[in-house]
A and B are shown apart, each in its own frame.
Chain A
């Protein structure tokens, strides 16, 4: 049983390390901020902002050129100038994530990427709802087998295989 617990302890430690690294990466590269937080903090580095495209605010500057629109949050909105691949997702009243930098001089958010709402909460929930029960199921099953072998050995009810008598 000692080896069994050491093995599962190792699995638990590796899982915890991966979990911590995942949370760190999420906070660093993946998470988005709200429009009011952007206006309040006015960060100098590239950020991801989640908001809704204001109705009738999309203005295209020629074919394949920059697109200007307004992104709103809870009671606040700001102008976005998007230069990048044409996106079908850029539509009125659509909730999107825009990636880029805030220009504090022009008070315009210069975006270079547009993504759909990531729904990371749902993804995390799906993975945790699968992997945690899977780990528990495997642990319990393996533990039960190890215990049964010990019980059988201790109670001397196991009969080792005997060689067949020939002739």
Chain B
């Protein structure tokens, strides 16, 4: 009953997140593509940053949600939390792929290569592999509880990759530029920072919206499957 109440809430409030995300992304895109100035060294190609950076941030946020959800699940064994973690992993794969593809498109005119064995790129690709592995593991197991438990353990172990992704540009000085916003200060012009912030917040809201919709989807799929199974067993017994 608590779960169905939560699903009803998700259904009720998801629209607000969707609309807010859409508005922020539209304004951010306009500012990023039209009003912000080109970078002194990279020129216009810097505009890829307005989609690449928020996608990468959202991917890492998705993994953080997956990590938090996995701990919560192992502690409380709440199936809706498992649905949320499962949903976060799927959306995480999507945002990680977008970040890697846009990063590669950015790398070509900037570094003259589509791919390089840079620590940031490698650690980010490892995150994609962990997320894909998590989703694959969940398809191999028949027992739903085992599926959720093993998935949660894998997600917790894989979380070690997140600090490596974040600090890789500080620990290893390679092609990838260091953090623009850090404890050292902000090394980005305000006409670039504002659209970047708008896009980042927009993407976080979009992720939340997607998480609400996808959690519902997984819950409803399970519900339908369980109810049908129960109905079939009644027929066959």
Q: Is the CB of A119 within 8 A of B109?
A: yes
- A145 contacts which of B4, B42, B101, B216 (Cβ < 8 Å)? B216
Interface of chain B, helix or strand or loop or mixed?
Answer: helix
B38, A129: Cβ atoms closer than 8 Å:
no
Q: How large is the interface on B (under 10, 10 to 19, 20 to 34, 35 or more residues)?
A: 35 or more
Contact of A126 among B43, B51, B223 (CB under 8 A): B51
Interface string of A136-162 (1 = CB under 8 A from B): 011001101100110110010111011
Q: Which residues of B contact A (CB under 8 A)?
A: 1, 4-5, 8, 33, 38, 42-45, 47-48, 51-52, 55, 94, 98, 101-102, 105-106, 108-109, 210, 213-214, 216-217, 220-221, 223-224, 227-228, 231
Q: Which residues of B contact A134 (CB under 8 A)?
A: 94, 98
**Given A119-B109, A137-B94, is A161 in contact with B48 using a C-beta cutoff of 8 Å?**
no
Report A-chain residues with C-beta under 8 Å of the C-beta of B55.
130
Q: Which residues of A contact B217 (CB under 8 A)?
A: 141, 144-145, 148
Chain A: number of interface residues, binned into ranges: 20 to 34
Cβ-neighbour of B1 out of A125, A127, A162 (below 8 A)? A162
Task: Report Cα–Cα, A137/B44, bound state, in Å.
Answer: 28
Is A117 engaged at the interface, CB distance under 8 Å to the other chain?
A: yes
Chain A residues with CB under 8 Å of chain B are 115-120, 122-123, 125-127, 129-131, 133-134, 137-138, 141-142, 144-145, 148-149, 151-152, 155, 157-159, 161-162, 164
